Amino acid sequence: MVKSGLRSFKLKSLYRAVLSLLAIALLVTTTACNNSSEVAAKKNLENPPPGKITSLYKPITPEAGGMNNYSDVDPRVNTSKTDAKVDRLVDRAKDLVQKDTNPLKQIEKEFDKKGIKERVEDTADSVRKSAKETVDGVSKGTRKGFENVKENAKSFKDDVESAAKKGN
């Protein structure tokens, strides 16, 4: 009885293996044969017969190179002011580049605008102001710290007294 079960199992597995091989062969042949129809379809798209409509969209405006090969600017917008401003800025940048090509000349011009005496006075004033702000900040912090120490000492005293009362 075990031998007949084993024999039927072998036949079933052999049947499944043959069926799988046939399915693979069918798949390979159909795939290989369909390739020629795709090539023919591509050729028809590249060279359509005369009179055949290949696109449903007929462009109204010429291609300009923007997004989707069309201009990024709405043709209804008046851009003349913007164009004039751009031209002014470009001209100004060109003038600046031509005038000051040497960075040392630019530094000399800055020094000529304000004398050394005024620069030293300005620096001294800013140092004085910064030192005063630092002293004020430290004194405020010290006062606040002293108040915190007083509060902490008082609360510690109260905690010790309450613990002593509970302990008795």
Contact partners, residue 64, CB within 8 Å, separation at least 6: 70, 71
User: What is the Cβ-side half-sphere exposure of residue 108, based on CA atoms within 13 angstroms?
Assistant: 6
CA gap 25, 132 in Å, rounded: 93
**Counting beta carbons within 10 angstroms of the beta carbon of residue 70, is it exposed (0 to 12), middle (13 to 18) or buried (19 or more)?**
middle
pTM comes to 0.29
Are 72 and 66 in contact, with CB atoms under 8 Å apart?
yes
What are the C-alpha distances in Å from 3 to residues 13, 14, 44, 69, 152?
A: 15, 16, 63, 76, 94
The reported pLDDT for the residue numbered 3 is 67
DSSP secondary structure string for all residues of 61-105 = SPP-SSGGGS-SS-TTS--HHHHHHHHHHHHHHHHHHHH---HHH
Percent of the chain past pLDDT 70, that is, above it, reads 67
Each residue of 34-91: pLDDT tens digit?
655 555 555 555 666 666 666 666 667 666 766 677 677 777 777 788 889 999 999 9
